[in-house]
Homo-oligomer: A and B are copies of this chain.
Amino acid sequence: MKAKKISVFAPATVANIGCGFDILGMAIHGVGDLVTIVPNTSDKLIIKSISGDGKKLTKNINENIVAISIQALLNHLNSKQGFDIYLKKQMPLSSGLGSSAASSVAGLYAANLFLGSPLSKQELVSFAMEGERIACGTAHTDNVAPSLLGGIVLCRNNEMAETISLPVPKQLYVVVVHPHYELKTSDSRKALPKKIDLKTGARQWSNTASFVHALHTNNFELLADSITDFVAEPHRKSLIPHFDEVKGAALLNGGLACSISGSGPSIFCIAKRKKNAQKAAAAMKSIYKKNKMGVDVYISNVNTKGAQQIK
């Protein structure tokens, strides 16, 4: 087999999207991870380099999520192919933007491409979940599925890795503000109650239903109202510096809805049209600037392509 290298970019993702705790996610542009794989002559995976991680990630192939995900795929395909792996993190860790998912997805998609694409993107979701199981303790698809597939994805059943791609309104823009403040997914999970009131549940499943209807009917007003999160945001927002102030600034300046991206600390906001997103983004950013906190800001429409080979 002749040597060749494959590079794949996988985008950052906003999981939950307010109402859809553990079941909704969407991909954005402009931020994500790059994985390059080069076949080696051994039957092993070797992590050659990791950059952009502040030396926080391990090169141990039994603990690194990129290697774990690729190995799960190779095992499934009964392949003994070895790869040298180069991971370039181009997004913050523990940011609530699906950082670990983007890495797993980029590695998996690259390996699948090298092997002649034996599996579809849809079929790769369950292998990316292996990485998530290590990174988060539980296997969720709400980051990996949109990072792989692109778009807005409904993750029906985590065990089956069943996903549904929902319609994406053309004028939908997403702002993501990432304050420079580390919040571990595990700590953010701990803030959640194990049980919720049945009444609270009914409000939430009313919202996921109307969220889907709003996407199908291009109804931005309903979309905005549906994104209200009764389950996670009330318990997690105190973990995120200046959350209420940032949300207020977003909603007063062109933002239609605003909530926590994944398990935080990133905050997302949706807007109709780019100019409204830009206005909301500036207002959100100004809160952190005023409080002398570092912040990254991303403005993007929904990334409908997902993981892509970079040539």
Using a CB–CB cutoff of 8 Å, the interface residues on chain A facing chain B are 19-24, 154-157, 164, 166, 192-198, 201-213, 216, 222, 225, 231
Would A205 and B20 count as touching, CB distance under 8 A?
Answer: yes
CB–CB B209/A211 < 8 A: yes
User: Which residue from B194, B202, B208, B211 sits with its C-beta under 8 Å from A197?
Assistant: B194
CB-defined contacts of A202 to chain B, threshold 8 Å: 21-23
In the docked arrangement, what's the CA distance between A209 and B23, Å?
Answer: 9
Identify the closest chain B residue to A206 (Cβ). Answer: B23
CA distance A24 to B212 in the complex (A): 14
Instruction: Give the nearest-CB partner of A203 in chain B.
Output: B157
Contact of A205 among B164, B166, B192, B204 (CB under 8 A): B204
Chain B residues contacting A213 (CB-CB under 8 Å) are: 154, 164, 166, 212, 216
Given contacts A210-B164, A213-B154, contact A198 B198 (CB under 8 A): no
Q: Known contacts A196-B196, A198-B231: does B19 contact A206 (CB below 8 Å)?
A: no
> Complex formed: what's the CA distance from A206 to B153 in Å?
11
CB < 8 Å neighbour of A196 from B21, B166, B198, B208: B198
Pair A154/B21 contact, Cβ less than 8 Å: no
Q: Are B206 and A204 in contact (CB under 8 A)?
A: no
C-alpha spacing A175/B239, complex, angstroms? 49
Option from B24, B197, B201, B231 in Cβ contact (under 8 Å) with A209:
B24
* Number of chain copies forming the complex: 2
A198:B209 contact, CB within 8 angstroms: no
**CB < 8 Å neighbour of A201 from B154, B166, B201, B210:** B201
Q: Which residues of B contact A225 (CB under 8 A)?
A: 156
Note all chain B residues with C-beta closer than 8 A to A206.
Answer: 20, 22-23, 154-157, 208
Residues in B neighbouring A22, C-beta threshold 8 A: 202, 206
CB distance from A98 to the nearest CB of B (A): 17
What CA separation (Å) do A155 and B213 show in the bound complex? 12
Q: Is the CB of B208 within 8 A of A201?
A: no
Task: Report Cα–Cα, A20/B203, bound state, in Å.
Answer: 10
Assembly CA distance A201 to B204 (angstroms)? 8
Closest approach, in angstroms, between the C-beta of A217 and any C-beta of chain B? 8
Q: Which residues of B contact A205 (CB under 8 A)?
A: 19-21, 23, 201, 204-205, 207-209
Residue of A21, A203, A208, A225 with highest tally of chain B CB at under 10 A: A208
Chain B residues lying within 8 Å of A24, measured Cβ to Cβ, are 209
List of B residues within 8 angstroms of A212 by Cβ: 209-210, 212-213, 216
What residues of chain B lie closer than 8 Å to A156, measured between beta carbons? 206-207, 210, 225
Closest B residue, CB atoms, query A192: B198
CB distance from A213 to the nearest CB of B (A): 5
- Which residues of the other chain, B, contact A196 by a CB distance below 8 angstroms? 195-196, 198, 201
- Alpha-carbon distance A86/B162, docked complex (angstroms): 52
